[in-house]
Amino acid sequence: MAVNPDFHATFEKLKAILEAYAAKTIVVHDTDENYYLDMHYVMKNKQRLFFAAVRVGKAYVSFHLMPVYACPNLLDNMSPELKRRMQGKSCFNFKSADEKLFKELAKLTKAGFKKFHDPKFLEKINKRWNTATKG
């Protein structure tokens, strides 16, 4: 796959945001194009809770952050610049490094990690998933 030369540097900077959580999560993938973290928490479906990932694609580098999907109010104070980088409910796309936005994304990741360690929140998520799969 021919990759934009800026993508590697962008990937490495985004990966650095997630590496801060590697010791407290499970590193599922760690390659030059994919870095993926799961929480230690196991859902009722016997799968670990996905936390975050960064992946190099054909058109951009994507940063996936599941806490913003599970808890949308984490996005309440997000800048319009970062909001424009969103695709879907939990993915942010970048073609090059942007230190200002990466700093904001690091704060959002920290808030999400804290949320994913809250036992009450995890119980709520598990109940919601269990209800959704029974319907």
89-121 confidence digits (pLDDT tens): 999 999 999 999 999 999 999 999 999 999 888
Which amino acid is residue 113, in one-letter code?
F
Looking at residues 74-93, what average pLDDT do you find?
A: 96
pLDDT of residue 133: 47
pLDDT of residue 3: 67
pLDDT at 65 over 70: yes
pLDDT at 11 over 50: yes
12-62 confidence digits (pLDDT tens): 999 999 999 999 999 999 999 999 999 999 888 888 999 999 999 999 999
**Cα→Cα distances 132→23, 70, 116, 124, Å:** 31, 14, 20, 12
pLDDT band at 129 (very low <50, low <70, confident <90, very high): low
- DSSP secondary structure string for all residues of 21-49: TGGGSEEEEESSSEEEEEEEEE-TTSPEE
What are the structural domains of the chain?
5-128 (3.90.1150)
